Amino acid sequence: MTATSEEPLSGMPIVGSADRPFLSVNDLHVTFPTEDGLVQAVDGVSLSVERGKTLAIVGESGSGKSVTAQAIMGLVNRKSATVTGEIWLDGQELINLPQREVQELMGMEIAMIFQDPMSSLHPFYRIGDQIVEAIRAHRSIGKAAARRETLEMLQHVGIPAAERRIDAYPHQLSGGMRQRVMIAMALINSPQLLIADEPTTALDVTVQAQILELIARLQGEFGTTVILITHDLGIVADVADDVAVMYGGRIVELASTTTLYDLPEMPYTLGLLSSVPRMDQKLPERLDPIRGNPPSPIRLPKGCVFQPRCDYWQRVPGEACLTVRPDLLESDPDHWVRCHLKVEERKQIARDVKQILAGGGE
């Protein structure tokens, strides 16, 4: 993955690879007109992912993660929303592509899995028939061959007694098994890009571990590019190559996973990391949460969107945090941060906070 500024695509910095990134999103905006006003769900998101890599998008609820994913999938209803910007997948621009052509790509080139498997599975049809249908919608192959392929895929994703379960209805399966069926259906046409929106949020840690291992294994086998949306910083550390942190519809920090956990520079990322209770550290007497609540997407603050919750805005001269939106700028190679603080100051803050965290109680 490479980070991008909000420049046009031609000027996009491509770091670390001579190839054009497999997926790149450039200055994506999604707005929903509502009774209360205009909801800026996604407000200028730019990112790119290289083939075969995993990019995680993290952030609190309402930060725009799902809408970003839906825009990439062409799932945002254009009648009720405005979508602008560019989405390039393997050399093809998607936003201005006719709806019919986007649909053809879906399920073939790009597939998506959700938190709730029932959003992909029809309750009244046998799971096998649904997967066979997904194959035959995109490829001209016979029913028997499609069924054979379906059975293999169900075995592949670890459905026990697949030859029996292929004829089961979704409600006859446990939550973890339904999740695996949905993954089987998403992967059946070997998509090049898999977008997983909170795929394990509703599952137990034990099943979550199974599903994450499954996605990683299949990614290794098929070379799939993965965008993983989650709010769980533990999962990110486990599976992602790179991380984009979203807040108020924008990316506020973008870096490799190791960099982000080692020395996060945006105060929001730092706050997130110090909010989570952790099993691998000494037990602090109290947690150190970010104060206040996430912003309303209708009345976003004028300056830095995080300012009302930030502990450091007063360190920036001229009250810039109150009036000027910071840009996403490259702080180190491949490390992008949206914050007015000086780079050295941000790094010092991160080091200080980490020191305090490491020194806690018990």
Partner 1 sequence: MTNQTSDVLDVTDLRTYFPVRSRGLIPRTIGAVKAVDGVSLSLDAGETLGLVGESGSGKTTAARSILMLVRPTGGSVKIDGEEITDLSARKLMPIRRKAQMIFQDPYNALNPRHTVGAIITAPFKVQKVVPPGGVKKGVLELMERVGLNPEHYNRYPNEFSGGQRQRIGIARAIALRPKLIVCDEPVSALDVSIQAQILNLLRDLQKEFGIAYLFVAHDLAVVRQISHRVAVMYLGKIMETAPRELIYSRPLHPYTHSLLSAVPVPDPKRQAHRKSRIVLHGDLPSPIDPPSGCVFRTRCFQAQERCAVEVPPLVELAPGHHVACHFPIAVEDLPARAEVQALTADDPQEATPDVQIVSREEAADGAAGAAGKGRGAQEEALDEGGAAEEGVSLNKPRA
Residues in the site for partner 1, rule: CB under 8 A?
A: 60-61, 160-161, 168, 171-177, 203-210, 212-213, 231-238, 257-258, 261, 271-273, 275-280, 283, 286-291, 293-294, 362
Helix (H/G/I), strand (E/B), else coil: 194: strand
Q: Which of 244, 243, 186 is nearest to 219 (CA)?
A: 186
- Does 195 bind ligand ATP (CB under 6 A)? Our answer is no
Q: Which residue is nearest to ligand ATP (CB)?
A: 61
Stretch binding Mg ion (CB under 5 A), from 29-37, 63-71, 74-82, 166-174: 63-71
Exactly one of 3, 25, 28, 39 binds ligand ATP (CB under 6 A); which one? 39
Instruction: Please say whether the beta carbons of 341 and 349 come within 8 A.
Output: yes
- Does 230 bind Mg ion (CB under 5 A)? Our answer is no
Instruction: From the list ligand ATP, partner 1, Mg ion, none, pick the one residue 95 interacts with, judged by a Cβ distance below 5 to 8 Å according to partner type.
Output: none
Exactly one of 65, 156, 250, 340 binds ligand ATP (CB under 6 A); which one? 65
Q: Which of 27, 2, 25, 24 is nearest to 15 (CA)?
A: 2
In whole angstroms, how close is the CB of 56 to partner 1 at the nearest point?
11
35/344 with CB nearer ligand SF4: 344
Q: Which of 206, 133, 131 is nearest to 174 (CA)?
A: 206
What is the residue type of 245?
V
The size of the interface with ligand ATP (CB under 6 A), counted in residues, is 13
116/345 with CB nearer Mg ion: 116
The set of residues, in sequence order, having a beta carbon less than 8 Å from that of 258 and lying 6+ positions away, is: none
Helix (H/G/I), strand (E/B), else coil: 314: helix
- Does 203 bind ligand ATP (CB under 6 A)? Our answer is no
66/219 with CB nearer ligand ATP: 66
In whole angstroms, how close is the CB of 292 to ligand SF4 at the nearest point?
12
Helices (H), strands (E): how many in the chain? 12, 12
In whole angstroms, how close is the CB of 240 to Mg ion at the nearest point?
17
- Does 66 bind Mg ion (CB under 5 A)? Our answer is yes
Residue 135: phi, psi to the nearest 5? -70, -50
- Does 200 bind ligand ATP (CB under 6 A)? Our answer is no
* Secondary structure letter of residue 139 according to DSSP: S
What is the residue type of 71?
A
24/230 with CB nearer ligand ATP: 230
153/211 with CB nearer partner 1: 211
Instruction: Please say whether the beta carbons of 136 and 217 come within 8 A.
Output: no
Instruction: From the list ligand ATP, Mg ion, ligand SF4, none, pick the one residue 21 interacts with, judged by a Cβ distance below 5 to 8 Å according to partner type.
Output: none
Question: Quick one: which H or E segment has residue 37?
Answer: strand 37-49
Instruction: Please say whether the beta carbons of 29 and 43 come within 8 A.
Output: yes
183/321 with CB nearer ligand SF4: 321
44/271 with CB nearer partner 1: 271
- Does 295 bind ligand ATP (CB under 6 A)? Our answer is no
Alpha carbons 282 and 284: distance in angstroms, whole number:
6
Angle at Cα 170 formed by Cα 201 and Cα 139, nearest 5°? 95
What is the residue type of 207?
V
Instruction: Please say whether the beta carbons of 237 and 212 come within 8 A.
Output: no
Place of tokens 């209770």: 277
What is the C-alpha radius of gyration for the chain, rounded to an integer number of angstroms? 21
- Does 74 bind ligand ATP (CB under 6 A)? Our answer is no
Both tokens assigned to 287: 């947690």
Burial grade of 61 (CB within 10 A; 0-12, 13-18, 19 or more): exposed
In whole angstroms, how close is the CB of 290 to ligand SF4 at the nearest point?
11
264/267 with CB nearer ligand SF4: 267
Instruction: From the list ligand SF4, partner 1, ligand ATP, none, pick the one residue 65 interacts with, judged by a Cβ distance below 5 to 8 Å according to partner type.
Output: ligand ATP
64/191 with CB nearer ligand ATP: 64
* Positions in the binding site for Mg ion (CB under 5 A): 66
* Positions in the binding site for ligand ATP (CB under 6 A): 32, 34, 39, 41, 59, 61-67, 297
